[in-house]
Amino acid sequence: MQKKNSLLIFVLFFILFGVLETTAQKKSKEESNTDLKVSPKLVVGIVVDQMRYDYLTRFWDQYGNNGFKRLVNEGYNCKNNHFNYAPTSTGPGHSSIYTGTTPATHGIIGNNWYDKQLDKEVYCASDETFNSVGTTSDAGKMSPHRMNVTTITDELRLHTQMRSKTIAIALKDRGAVLPGGHTANAAYWFEGGDRGNWITSTFYMTQLPKWVLDYNKADHFSKYKKAWNSAKDINSYAESGIDENLYEGLSEGETTSVFPHDLEKNWDTNGKYDGLRATPYGNSLTADFAIEALEKELLGGDEITDFLAVSFSSTDYVGHKYGVNSKEVEDTYIRLDADLERFFKALDRKVGKGEYTVFLTADHGAIDVPAYLKDQKIPAGYFDSKAMQERFNEFLKYSFGTADVVKNFSNYQFFLDHKIVKNLDMDLAKAQEIIATELLTYDSIDRVYTGQQMWNNNYVSGIPYILQNGYNQKRSGDIFIVLRPGFISYHNTGSTHGSPQIYDTHVPLLFYGKGIKQGSTVARTEIPDIAPTLASLLGIAFPNGTTGKPIVEVLE
């Protein structure tokens, strides 16, 4: 009897041990899978064009609870996030966000740049080998062919054997084409004019999908043909300057830049539907179309992760026209906050709360209007390239016998004619140095660097580090100028960007949703860190030019 009991106890112990071992292995496997990757049904990339970091904090009390505040309070806030290259403009910005690298590698060195091989200026997204879809104009002749590397959207498509879907949307063509990468199912951008349409390129498709054709025909845009007044009592807009001032640009037909802006009255003189770009309504119609794409393309509708890239471009147009400190900028962000809220609600409804992952950042920052800064006794001013041209040409003629030694000036870069330099039996590095030394004597110019310095040195901090990350050996110029802090090459009203200065590099970076921790950091993060962070989250390959690193603190 005792032997039987012992045998029974042994058998029960063996069974129990087996059950515990199986459970432990299953739990270990589940934990391992959790650590290995996170699989949201949808990743949503949001780029707010020309958004400074302090727009989060300045306008915080004006925001509702379910737009920007939802991302900050429930997600992860990288407070010290920067572009680590210049020029800080839209094309390079969107490319760097999605490729995980800088212009030195991805090759998009500006919105436009002088092509040394073609001997002409080129546009970052233009491609004459493809045709427009959805319009008879040339506005659709675009592709990402000038971008040398893959994007996070490309890598997701490759990882899933092209079963995942990527849709990219923006008012600006470059704001859709570059984030969509080389493998996007579709990229759509807005053509204004008489009617207003979402269009694309034959790079993606030969005709618009039925849902886009129906959307364009339904004329969802005419509801925004109305006066632009402040969304709230304008007296509550305490975080911006007075409404009537000398620092803001005017739309055609306006004599003052104060609210309300009568869009209908000046409709024809401001490009009709194109005029919506420089109003918050451009962001609203972008959100409308993104929500429609979410539904009609069934994004996030199964277990294979999809990607929706959305760029809100009107913030840039408004900033350029009215300036950082304007009531118009404050109102635009209040209205964008409301658009984000309804976009997030659509994501909750269509994909499911907790089933998607979002990041929000900007493609560059912006400077306060220098004329305003000067009136506040802050050092600031304007670089007048025309005024310096006569003196500079005389210097070139004296030093080289001809002013034609400089072929082009763009993106704060001088491109030299290497043939002329060679014919003068002069070393290129020496020619660069002679011109750089002269340029440093001009009052508005703070620093000058040469291509030779970019080739020979490895900068790890400061302005030269930022310039070097923007320097592409095949595409960039020979001499780089950096204007004094507070100085810009622009007209006297409105704000601009493009410099390596901190007001152009410091932008928000917010993560939210599945696989994302709640919290914040003041440790420095950089724009190329976004793509590898997402790749680590998803368990996919990094974009093939990645130089950034995953932000470990963000991930659960």
- Residues classed as catalytic: 90
Q: For 135, left (φ over 0), alpha (ψ -120 to 50), or beta?
A: beta
458: enclosing H helix or E strand: none
What sign does the CA torsion over 531, 528, 457, 522 have?
A: negative
Is-contact 56 70, C-beta < 8 A?
A: no
- Residue at token pair 């660069």: 432
Retrieve residue 87's tokens.
Answer: 């020029």
- Give the Cα separation of 408 and 122 in Å (integer): 12
- Give the Cα separation of 125 and 111 in Å (integer): 8
Closest CA to 453 of 439, 465, 440, 442: 465
Retrieve residue 169's tokens.
Answer: 């949307």
Tell me how far the alpha carbon of residue 505 is from its chain's centroid. Answer: 12
Q: 324: buried, middle or exposed (CB in 10 Å: 19+, 13-18, 0-12)? A: buried
Angle at CA of residue 114, ends 96 and 89, nearest 5°: 30
Is-contact 80 101, C-beta < 8 A?
A: no
